[in-house]
Amino acid sequence: MTYKKSDQDQTSASTKVKTTTDLESKLKQLAASVPLSSIGTEDVYVDQAGKVGVMGNYQTVGHPEERKDAREKVTGEAVFGPDVEFPNMLYAAVYHSPYAHARILSYDLEDAKAVEGVVCVLTGKDVPGRFGAFIADQSTLAVDKVRYNGEPVVAIAAETAHAAKEAVQKVKVEYEELEAVTDPYEAMQPGAPLVHDNWSGYAHAADFTGRDGTNLCDYFPLRHGDVEKGFEEADIVVENTYRTAGVNHSTIELHVATAKFDIAKNRLTIWSPTQSPFMIRKQLAGLLGLKQSEVRIVCTYIGGGFGGKYEIKIEPIVAALAMHCQGRAVRLVYNRHEDYLAGCVRGGTVIKIKSACNRDGKMVAQKIENYFDTGAYSTTGPRINYNAGLAAISPYKIPNVWIDGYTVATNRQITSAYRGFGMPEYTFAFENQMDLLADKLGMDPYVFRMKNIYHTGDVSATGEILPEVGLEKCFKAAAQMIGWEKGDWRRHVTEDGKWRAKGMAGGIKLTGTPSSSSVVVRFNDDATVQVSQSGMELGQGAFTVIPQFVAERLGIPYENVSVVPVDTMYTPYEKTTTGSRVTFHVGNAAVRAAEDVIDQLCDLCAIGWEADRESIRFDKGVIFGPMGKKLVVKDIGKTSLMKEQDPILGRGTYSTSDIWDKPDPDTHASKKPTVQWFWAAQACEVEVDPKTGKIRILDYAAAQDVGRAINTMNCVQQVEGAVVMGMSHCMLEELLDDEQGHLLNGNMVDFKVATSQDTDFDIKVALIENPVSDNLYGARGIGEPPVVPPAAAISNAVSRACGGRILSIPLKCEKVLDAVKKGPYRKEAE
Amino acid sequence: MLPEFDLLIPKTLDEALTTLAERGNEIKVVAGGTDVYVSMHGKYQSFPAIMDIKHLQELKEFSFAEGKGAVIGALTTHHTLDRSEIIRAHYPALQEGASQVGSVQIRHRGTIGGNICNAVPSADTLGPLLVLDAKAVTISQQGRREIPLKDFFAGPKRTVIRADELLEKILLPDNESRRSAYIKFTRRNAMDLALLGASASLRVDEDGLARDVRISLTTCAPTPMRALHAEQVLEGKIPSEKLLKEAGLAASREASPRTSWRCTEEYRRENLKAIVPRVIATALARAREGVGIQ
Amino acid sequence: MKHCMITTKVNGKEYVRAIPVNMTLVEFLRDELHLHGTKEGCDEGECGACTILFDGHPFNACLVLAAEADGHDILTIEGMADDDRLHPIQEAFLEAGAVQCGYCTPGMVLSAKAVLDEFPNPTDAQIRTGIEGNICRCTGYNRIVEAIHIAAEKINAAG
């Protein structure tokens, strides 16, 4: 594959920019320290300090085209969930459970109902039915029991937001408090309080693998080889228990939905920043006894998703209120505290892992038990267990791998999809193990990893022959950019007594399979194109890359093509916007739709030119016919070829159920568990203050296999943002409960996310070109993969600097100081 | 979302004091609102009346005179203190405190008076003010009271200010050759509460001995506190690295931090051993060179 | 008083309104004036999504009473562009790739303006401090910092 080199110097450059003269000197500095040629310049594109270049040899694909949504976002015109308003609209508010686990004994709603302006008050019995993606265990409002601090119990609609809030203050509910369980490992022990009494009493979407009478709602086993034999025979064995804290998405846009029930048409309309309009449509229809065509989901721009707006959340509450409010629109916006309580989270994990290698540096065996906290309701938990379980085979070729994933219910906030979908947690564990093994071998951790990474054509631990594995290039690029070969990855002390080291980690993740996408392309007679699809824009650039696919295939300018707003009444089915799937899947469907358009354009030319259809061919935006006849597609408006003919309507679908090899339920062996793997490698340099435990990141390198970037700017944006998000999880974020399961830090002072002052370090980005064969332009997903390695890379560096392994994140200064004081270098810190 | 309340906006100090004398017990005084409104939003808690005192020009004095020192009106914002040449040159610890309150938006609104009257043990201006020998001046219909700031705090979020009083201004003596510094230790690098705060002020006499040593700690006790034992370690001695370390140990011992879900007592004591010597060293360097913040 | 009349200038246009005193400035802008560009993110001054310029000062509008706007000048995101021409800061955000989900963007642009109004040639540190009160979960901030540098160049070039 060739790629167009940019005009600037071929240097590896950071994205941190000062003034123009600073830029130039920075480029020179970096050119001196990290020559690209040793990575393999033909396949590697590197971000050029602020100016993003081109990958590939296409007209629009591979270019950093301006985002389609950026202008309206920068002017404030873009419509987000809370911006939806209607005349005569009602405002909703929710009364949430103050307890983590309690039986509801009685309600006293008289004072709440008496507040002036209150129109409707609902409790659990007013909204019967349960929902859940895998286990239908959740009700719209609590029935009989509350299972987490924050569970919605009473919903109120009123003339003003203030009246609704006043009414919530006046709700009185009597509870009998029950013992709460807040740790997933503890929740698996005999005698632990039961969050749900009877799992099999609920409806299930798939085979239930949990256990009644326990908090286990889903179990994932992966078996490859014989780990026990492996451990017996291996030269070096390391065993540890790692923990990751629960964290909240903290999207700046809160959870919000507006609902309106049209009585005459029996149609419910919901305006919501949802990543999964069709999933929600189906669930709401089932829950409310409506047909799918009677439920309309209109998607507003998503002000931050990361998976937190993937599943049904407050839509059922507003829908229920709207159906009681005589056709008036009802809007519910959670405030920040409510979002922490009743939004969703990435649940904490307890990961027991045993890893073994031989003295020659080859991995022999790895056994992992992961206790995932899915919170009070199962929701996406089983899916996380499954997707992450498959990818927990790690990026390393290990002949004996056993994985046991346990999705465990606790009385904590509900776990939902969150960028990385279980892989940042697993990766933290197994990448720390890799460093520990390397240290015992006395081997460079980079060399150790390179001895074990998967390559194209290797057979994975599920029995799949792995295609297009970009790991080697990713690791080489990351190592180069961080200057690993200098040897200063080893712990060293600065003149002013600070401790430094470098760390690295690989990244592996898959995209959920099977799934399906559909696209309809309307071709106007001025060669502008409207693409109807339901991949949602949550900042990752979906609304930009899909037009790029279509424009490229049709050979018309990018400016001519845009997507229409996503609305289940008009746009065709899309499974969901998660799993880093939109670019690849919707891209494939879009290309097919574009090819359908090309076919129809050729038909029109045959008619217009009175030529044989077989004599018509299309190439790069031009249609050729016999006798020198030619049509430049973008100029079709100057001809009468479309006049009074069949309108051009292109249709394309793409699904992966035919290529998917359903894994064996007991071993999860599969020759094709996913249509697409993601590969990454990252490295960083850190400095630890051994007297306070404060960590400073000095430098960061992220190499991401993008297949081929459809939009290079989008790709760089995703990598940078994901690195910072991963860093924030690793160093700052942690949801804290008291012993009774009450959330202690549900606000933005006490739940800390990274600010601009926490990202004052270079993030060098390399986008590795490694085209995927199943996509016309070779695109691989990118939304999540770069968030998989940061916690592992940073913690590896920090633990190395301290001389002691820290087994949990976040890496709070107390833990770092503790590692220093218990480590071999403690005397130096005195 | 704020609950309902009665809003009073007095145009003159006289009007304000008259109202406070009548019904001060039911009135919450608000300046920048960056503490009060946050609390009211968060707890949906109201007061019968809110008195917005931002129009009172009498609380906006800001002056410095050699030999006399500084007069800082209670309504002086953190942003003003942060940017003030006088504060940077003469009272650098106060600039370091004010410049790290909340975020830039908070600093444009929040006032030093609010920071003092809100009286949280972690407040960023309080440690610096203590080492600068600040005096609070309150005013009521009955007249003024001048209260050394070290006597101003009665407990967490409690001061000695009466319901009929307003905080009028802060007086800082001319520190002459004394210089100061403040270290705010936080988990993240902006918009954070001090997990620990240490301030120091001192001068060096012609024999190189440390004099007029003041050391204060925040988030280490129910109120901001002076570390008197740590001060004694240094007072009248050559401030060697060893001595600074000893002062740190003394401060760590005399502080009374507590364990909460935010942080353990053990860690706070350990951390003090590091940041107290560091803040003394910074103040010392400034004192030796006769400089503040450039 | 529980209600009051205010006369305030928002983006150069004068508004006279009767409002309840417990209405915050962000509620006034969004619900009363239907200017939805200013966002609500936390009601505690911790996210910066509601940042506006009040007589040129960057404030969190969630912590300002609408009543306080009486006699003052407010600038919101809707006032940044000049009819059809984007403000150089907005252009710079587009060029630098500083926009992803866009929810923090209005507040971020206003904070950027406050930085550049005070420091026409800001250093990295001055920029990072100037936007430290605006949380972004998408970009990692570095492109926003770059955008503000680019905006400074554009504004200085225009003279």
pLDDT band at B192 (very low <50, low <70, confident <90, very high): very high
Q: Looking at residue A547, what DSSP letter applies?
A: H
Is the CB of residue B45 less than 8 Å away from at least one CB of chain A?
no
Given this model, what pLDDT does residue B291 score? 86
- When scoring C4, C21, C40 by the number of chain B Cβ atoms within 10 A, the one with the most, hence best to mutate, is C21
pLDDT band at A36 (very low <50, low <70, confident <90, very high): very low
Strands (E), A541-644: 561-563, 617-619, 622-624, 630-632
Given this model, what pLDDT does residue B43 score? 86
Is the CB of residue C106 less than 8 Å away from at least one CB of chain A?
yes
pLDDT of A745 > 60? The answer is yes
DSSP A161-214: HHHHHHHHHT-EEEEEE------HHHHTSTTPPPS-S-GGGS-BSS---S-TTS
Distances (CA, A) of A759 to A680, A684, A718, B190: 21, 13, 15, 11
| Chain A residue with the nearest C-alpha to that of C135 | A755
Given this model, what pLDDT does residue A2 score? 25
- The answer to whether the Cβ–Cβ distance between A713 and C140 falls below 8 Å is no
Class of domain A81-178+256-333: alpha beta
Partner residue opposite A813 with nearest CB, options B4, B187, B190: B187
CATH for A515-655?
3.30.365.10
CA distance C21 to A128: 41
Interval B54-107: pLDDT, tens: 999 999 999 999 999 999 999 999 999 999 999 999 999 999 999 999 999 999
pLDDT of A26 > 60? The answer is no
Distance from CA of A87 to the nearest CA of B (A): 21
Is the CB of residue B109 less than 8 Å away from at least one CB of chain C?
yes
What does the pLDDT average to over B190-216? Answer: 97
Distance from CA of B232 to the nearest CA of C (A): 37
Strands (E), A97-151: 102-108, 118-123, 130-131, 138-139, 145-146
- The answer to whether the Cβ–Cβ distance between B2 and C130 falls below 8 Å is no
Listed by number, the residues of chain C in 50-89 with a beta carbon closer than 8 Å to a beta carbon of chain A are 76-78, 80-81, 86
Domain coordinates in residue numbering, chain A: 1-65+480-509+673-732+742-830, 81-178+256-333, 207-254+344-452, 515-655
pLDDT band at B253 (very low <50, low <70, confident <90, very high): very high
CA distance A364 to A693: 35
Given a contact cutoff of 8 angstroms between Cβ atoms, the answer to whether B101 and B125 are in contact is yes
pLDDT of B46 > 60? The answer is yes
Distances (CA, A) of A697 to A399, A430, A502, A503: 35, 22, 10, 11
Distance from CA of B149 to the nearest CA of A (A): 27
pLDDT band at A830 (very low <50, low <70, confident <90, very high): confident
For the question of whether the overall pTM of this predicted structure is more than 0.90, the answer is yes
Q: Do domains A207-254+344-452 and A515-655 have the same CATH topology?
A: yes
- The answer to whether the Cβ–Cβ distance between C46 and B191 falls below 8 Å is yes
Partner residue opposite C77 with nearest CB, options A70, A75, A720: A75
- The answer to whether the Cβ–Cβ distance between A756 and C144 falls below 8 Å is yes
CA distance A182 to A187: 7
Given this model, what pLDDT does residue A776 score? 94
Is the CB of residue B270 less than 8 Å away from at least one CB of chain A?
yes
- When scoring C87, C99, C101 by the number of chain A Cβ atoms within 10 A, the one with the most, hence best to mutate, is C101
Distance from CA of B234 to the nearest CA of C (A): 35
Given this model, what pLDDT does residue B290 score? 87
Cβ neighbours of residue A683 closer than 8 Å, sequence gap 6 or more: A478, A479, A481, A482, A484, A502, A503, A504, A505, A700, A701, A793
| Chain B residue with the nearest C-alpha to that of C44 | B38
pLDDT of B264 > 80? The answer is yes
| Chain C residue with the nearest C-alpha to that of B31 | C64
Partner residue opposite C45 with nearest CB, options B8, B34, B50: B34
Complex prediction ipTM: 0.98
Which secondary structure element, helix H or strand E, spans residue A228, and what is its range? Answer: helix A227-233
Is the CB of residue C62 less than 8 Å away from at least one CB of chain B?
yes
Q: What is the SS3 string spanning chain C?
A: CCEEEEEEEECCEEEEEEEECCCEHHHHHHHHCCCCCCCCCCCCCCCCCCEEEECCEEEEHHHCEHHHHCCCEEECHHHCCECCECCHHHHHHHHHCCCCCCCCHHHHHHHHHHHHHHCCCCCHHHHHHHCCCCCCCCCCCHHHHHHHHHHHHHHHHHC
**Which of the other chains make 3 or more beta carbon contacts under 8 angstroms with chain B?**
A, C
Q: Which residues of A touch C97 (CB under 8 A)?
A: 52, 64, 713, 716-717
Given a contact cutoff of 8 angstroms between Cβ atoms, the answer to whether A626 and A611 are in contact is yes
A207-254+344-452 classified as CATH 3.30.2090.10: no
Is the CB of residue A749 less than 8 Å away from at least one CB of chain B?
yes
Interval A635-644: pLDDT, tens: 999 999 999 9
What does the pLDDT average to over A497-506? Answer: 98
Q: Which residues of A touch B42 (CB under 8 A)?
A: 337, 747
Q: Which domains does chain B have, with CATH numbers?
A: 6-52 (3.30.43), 57-172 (3.30.465.10), 179-289 (3.30.390.50)
- When scoring C2, C6, C22 by the number of chain B Cβ atoms within 10 A, the one with the most, hence best to mutate, is C22
- When scoring A756, A757, A758, A760 by the number of chain C Cβ atoms within 10 A, the one with the most, hence best to mutate, is A756
Cα dihedral A156, A159, A165, A166 in deg (nearest 10): -100
- When scoring A162, A166, A692, A745 by the number of chain B Cβ atoms within 10 A, the one with the most, hence best to mutate, is A692
Given a contact cutoff of 8 angstroms between Cβ atoms, the answer to whether A618 and A608 are in contact is no
Interval A552-610: pLDDT, tens: 999 999 999 999 999 999 999 999 999 999 999 999 999 999 999 999 999 999 999 99
Q: Which residues of B touch A812 (CB under 8 A)?
A: 187
CA distance A261 to A296: 10
- The answer to whether the Cβ–Cβ distance between C38 and A50 falls below 8 Å is no
Is the CB of residue B44 less than 8 Å away from at least one CB of chain C?
no
State CA B124 to chain mean position distance. 6
Is the CB of residue B21 less than 8 Å away from at least one CB of chain A?
no
CATH for A1-65+480-509+673-732+742-830?
3.30.365.10
- Between A2 and A669, the more confident residue is A669
What does the pLDDT average to over C76-98? Answer: 95
Percent of residues, chain C, with pLDDT higher than 70: 100
- The answer to whether the Cβ–Cβ distance between B6 and C21 falls below 8 Å is yes
Partner residue opposite C48 with nearest CB, options B38, B103, B109: B103
